[in-house]
């Protein structure tokens, strides 16, 4: 079996993923609030029990706390990539480990992308497009992302010249 890819993502990815997860959990946190508003607006039978709303709110807070605290770091610990002149090797996953080998000669184009959260932490994603699908190396330092993009582009050009 092949050895694991060598390169890790930027450690700032943990902070960016925590912020993203926090925003998502805040949106989910509005669900008990909406049930409570429904009870206030339409009093009568068929309303939700206040205990059910409180329990739902408590569960959302506990699960969100676990997801915000632990999941980004565990996710970061299980993400690896490696680029060489023949292929791009990606490995990620916590319970189900996905290993993807992208032949460099199949690469059609490669991009870097930044959203507002990644830009805030000086990170960028590298997206690698082939005829069949798009692969992504998430949350690299901006400089590293640019180097990886240029390296993949150079290897793809050389591989297509050899064909």
User: Do residue 41 and residue 15 come from a single domain?
Assistant: yes
Checking if the pLDDT of 163 tops 70, the result is no
The CA-atom distances, in angstroms, between 55 and each of 28, 50, 62, 65, 120 are 14, 9, 11, 15, 35
Rounded to whole angstroms, the Cα distance separating 17 from 12 reads 9
**Structural domain containing residue 34:** 9-76
127 closest CA partner among 18, 86, 140? 140
- 53 falls within a domain: yes
Domain count, the chain: 2
Confidence of residue 139 (pLDDT cuts 50, 70, 90): very high
Query: pLDDT (tens digit, 9 = 90+) per residue, 34-59?
Result: 888 888 888 777 778 889 889 999 99
């Amino acid at each position: 079996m092949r050895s694991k890819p060598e390169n890790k993502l930027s450690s700032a990815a943990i902070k960016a993923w925590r912020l993203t997860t926090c925003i998502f959990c805040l949106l989910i946190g509005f669900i008990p609030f909406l049930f409570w508003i429904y009870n206030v607006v339409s009093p009568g039978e068929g309303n939700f029990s206040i205990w059910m709303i409180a329990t739902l709110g408590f569960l959302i807070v506990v699960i969100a706390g676990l997801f915000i605290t632990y999941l980004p770091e565990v996710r970061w610990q299980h993400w690896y990539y490696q680029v060489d002149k023949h292929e791009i090797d990606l490995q990620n996953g916590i319970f189900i480990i996905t290993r993807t080998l992208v032949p460099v000669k199949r690469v059609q184009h490669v991009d870097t992308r930044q959203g507002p959260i990644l830009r805030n932490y000086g990170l960028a994603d590298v997206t690698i497009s082939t005829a069949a699908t798009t692969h992504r190396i998430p949350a690299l330092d901006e400089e590293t992302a640019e180097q990886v993009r240029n390296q993949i582009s150079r290897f793809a050009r050389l591989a297509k010249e050899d064909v």
